[in-house]
Amino acid sequence: MLCRYESRSAKDLFEDADSIVEEATKEAQRLVRKNRGEVRRIGGQLADIEKKVASVTRLLCGPDIDPAAKKAISRQLGRRT
């Protein structure tokens, strides 16, 4: 009797495999969409940071900036990382 029950449970599981795979596929697609949004958001943040770094780098390399100011900016950047 136990063997028939186990056999039936395994059979039911395999018969339900399509719905399990369908549900797992839907969940995976939902997570992919969510992660794409996160990738776009983080990409935008990185672009903003790169712009700021480029701007500060130009300032630090510029001949018009006082060497003491360059040192102060450099110290502040060091503290933020």
Q: How far apart are CA 23 and CA 25, in angstroms?
A: 5
Q: Please give the pLDDT value at position 4.
A: 52
pLDDT digits (tens, 9 = 90+) for 12-45: 666 777 888 889 999 999 999 989 989 999 999 9
Q: How far apart are CA 68 and CA 44, in angstroms?
A: 33
Q: Is the pTM of this model over 0.95?
A: no
Do 70 and 56 meet the contact criterion of CB atoms below 8 Å apart? no
